[in-house]
Amino acid sequence: MLVLTRKLNESIIIGDDVKITIVEVKGEQVKLGISAPKRIPVHREEVYLEIQKENQKAVEAKVGIEELNAMWSKKTK
């Protein structure tokens, strides 16, 4: 893990497209501003982990295409 020290309004750049700026510091909380292209998803870690968990559940569901078509047909009626 790379650890960097930044002050208020200072930034770091990741690759060519992502910029993270220290927006505010209050006590033990740091507010970050993140500029990234729309094609790059940006999530808090706990949200990202929940998305991964739900995606894994979907993979394990083993629903066939026929069942998906049947579900879709019911929703569109």
**Residue 58: CB atoms within 10 Å:** 9
Same domain, 12 and 29: yes
Same domain, 1 and 31: yes
Domain residue limits at 18: 1-40
Same domain, 77 and 64: yes
- Which pLDDT belongs to residue 76? 65
Q: What is the pLDDT along the chain (77 residues), one digit of tens a residue?
A: 999 999 999 999 999 999 999 999 999 999 999 999 999 999 999 999 999 999 898 888 776 777 778 888 876 65
Same domain, 35 and 51: no
Same domain, 6 and 33: yes
Overall number of domains in the chain: 2
Same domain, 31 and 49: no
Q: What is the DSSP letter of 38?
A: T
* Alpha-helical runs (H) found in 1-77: 45-60, 65-76
Q: Are strands 18-26 and 29-35 parallel, antiparallel or unpaired?
A: antiparallel
Distance CA 66, CA 57 (A): 19
